[in-house]
Amino acid sequence: MVSPPNSRTATRTAARAEAGPALSREAVIDRALDLADREGLAAVSIRRLAQDFDVTPMALYWHVKNKDELLSAMGERIVEVVDAPDLPTEGGLDRLRPLLERLVDALHRHPGSTELVRGTILRTATGRQLAEQALTILAEAGFDRQRRADLARAALQSVVMLVVGAPGAETDVPEQDRQTMRDRKRAELAALPVDRFPHLVECAGPLTECEDPTAYYADGIDLFLAGVAALATRIS
């Protein structure tokens, strides 16, 4: 006579069957990134994703062990899609520009999860390649080991903050409420006494909504590169 399976084995078997071919680690990560973009990172949980997939949480645990692993995988996924450029032999510090531009482009696709990249970039092959290229450029510019490390870290922090801090991003607010939030902030600035705050009133629009993302990101990258160039001049 065959003994009945214990409850744990039965539950695991049912969860595996429930997951089906459409549920994979990649699908779970992509859905989590989409959820963070729409509702903010705080909305991401194993239980919420299980509801979205119409499965039990146990079905997702076959693909990610816990929420910490899921968040880490989300950060890694953002970096993995970056197409790292070839490193030219000439061009000086301006060779950093395409590295920053491509990283900004990847982060901009998932602004709700951008913060996760800080702790995961060096765990990915692409992130290591980008970091190695940046450190090479900085070494050739004459920066010592500590300065190279500090500036490479500052480069990552700068692009993350460009995306997270973009006017009107409101990544911690559900998508359906973001325009209301932007309108409220714009109205508050526009209502300030114009005799005391003429420039704040004039800039109420661009301060609360990114009217030209291309120019916004280009200016942010230019600002960082100008700072690095100024430091290089001081140590030369």
Q: What does 179-213 look like in DSSP terms, one character per residue?
A: HHHHHHHHHHHHTS-TTT-HHHHHTHHHHHS-S-H
Q: Is the pLDDT of residue 116 over 80?
A: yes
Q: What is the pLDDT of residue 13?
A: 39
Residues 148 and 34 in one domain: no
Do the Cβ atoms of 164 and 233 come closer than 8 Å?
Answer: no
154 with 225, same domain: the answer is: yes
Residue 36 structural domain: 7-64
One domain for residues 57 and 146? no
Nearest to 182 by CA among 193, 164, 192, 167: 167
- For the ranges 79-88, 132-141, 167-176, the maximum mean pLDDT occurs at 132-141
Backbone angles phi, psi at 117, to 5 degrees: -70, -30
Residues 100 and 157 in one domain: yes
For the cut 80, the answer to whether the pLDDT of residue 59 exceeds it is yes
Number of domains in the chain: 3
pTM beyond 0.75: yes
Q: Are residues 101 and 51 in the same domain?
A: no
Q: How many helices (H) and strands (E) does the chain have?
A: 12, 0
Closest CA to 58 of 50, 67, 68: 50
